[in-house]
Structure 1
């Protein structure tokens, strides 16, 4: 009887291992949103790690999260490291490539609670209704990752966070675009008012001196 149970258990384990091995070795999560703002605004808020605190969906998970910044202030080579509670863990992001107003490629390294390295990409495509911002993350599944995918789908786990982050980027940048237009209109109105005032108070243009008439002897 014990031999039969052991044999059945061994067969079950082998079967489960085969199922796990058959799972996809890669995964991709992607979300997009259209932003009615100049492309420099949604690009800049991602290209500068210091500004992620205003829109990153994970900032709210741990307000006391420790953060450090290394390398350039923004763009290629900029590094953002974090360490927080169980919800955010510990990790590091490095901007590998930044093509102004086109794309930003980031290496995302998780250190805790489990190590993993993924690639995150933001792309920007201007259109008639605004800029379409796409946020995508790609990664590889080792055996444990494949086993985990049997019970939890990566897209389902973080897709909502991507949507929340993009919605915040949209709100912030569209508000800034509106403020920018209002500032430009105000500055233009002031300049026109000053020009009109200067024109009204300007002294009359000088006239040429009268020609002297011929003299008689």
Structure 2
């Protein structure tokens, strides 16, 4: 029994040490990105990236709730256009709006998360020619609060899974 208590004590101590190191060592600035090469011209890929309505056809985050409610403002393909989503606990609630758009090259959006946590982020979709195809780079940048710094390794794993799923789905529909 004493050995078990010592093991539990060491685990708790290590968790506390990790939390302190994470709070002090991890930057508050968070950047994550993933890329995929799609065997299709930029113009074809752009039709799924350059419109908020088309984006939601391959976006893995909105797919996490089959009953998600999405309300669009504008046509979804111009600066200032946006959409509001409200879903289950996995999806939460928030808004995404286009802040910059360069047709066939770049889409920049601002994300405002309402639930489960209040926060803001910026996302970029950058299309560049690569051989006979198109390289799509998806980035997200935001500022981490103290608790999010501690959870950064888990965030990285989740973002990798979601971005890879989304880019994989974008590749499938763009290559049809």
Which TM class, normalised by the smaller chain length? 0.7 to 0.9
Q: Which residue of 2 aligns with 1:165?
A: 166
The question of 1:102 aligning with 2:111 is answered no
Identify the residue that residue 71 of structure 2 maps to in structure 1. 68
1:155 maps to what in 2? 156
TM-score for the superposition, normalised by structure 1: 0.68
Match of 1:78 among 78, 81, 88: 81
The answer on whether the counterparts of 1:29 and 1:154 sit within 8 Å (CA) in structure 2 is no
Cα distance, 1:97–1:14 mapped onto 2, change above 3 Å: same
- C-alpha contact (below 8 Å) 1:69/1:81 kept by paired residues: yes
TM alignment of 1:184-203, pairs within 5 A = none
Structure 2 length normalisation: TM-score?
Answer: 0.83
Check whether the contact 1:28–1:155 (CA below 8 A) recurs between aligned residues.
Answer: no
Match of 1:114 among 117, 121, 141: 117
How much has 1:172 moved relative to structure 2?
A: 0.6
Structure 1 residue 100, shift from structure 2 partner: 1.1
- Structure with more strand by fraction: 2
SS in 2 for 1:117: strand
CA distance, structure 1, for counterparts of residue 30 and residue 77 of structure 2: 28
Name the larger-Rg structure.
1
| Deviating more after overlay: 47-56 vs 96-105 | 47-56
CA distance in 1, matches of 2:32, 2:149: 16
| Partner-residue secondary structure (3-state), 1:114 | coil
* 8 Å contact from structure 1 (residues 125, 131) kept in 2: yes
2:125–2:138 contact (8 Å) kept in structure 1? yes
Evaluate the alpha carbon distance shift between residue 16 and residue 65 of structure 1 in structure 2; reply closer, same or farther with a 3 A threshold: closer
The gaps in structure 1 that reach 5 residues or longer are 1-12, 176-217
Please tell me whether residue 128 in structure 1 is matched to residue 131 in structure 2.
yes
Alignment length, in residue pairs? 161
Say which SS state the counterpart of residue 164 (structure 1) adopts. Answer: helix
Relative distance call for 1:167 and 1:18 in structure 2 (3 A) is closer
Q: Quick check: 1:54 aligned with 2:75?
A: no
CA distance in 2, matches of 1:73, 1:127: 27
Q: Which runs of 4+ in 1 moved over 6 A?
A: none
Secondary structure at 2:167 match in 1: helix
Q: How big is the shift at 1:145?
A: 2.1
Aligned residues: CA RMSD: 2.0
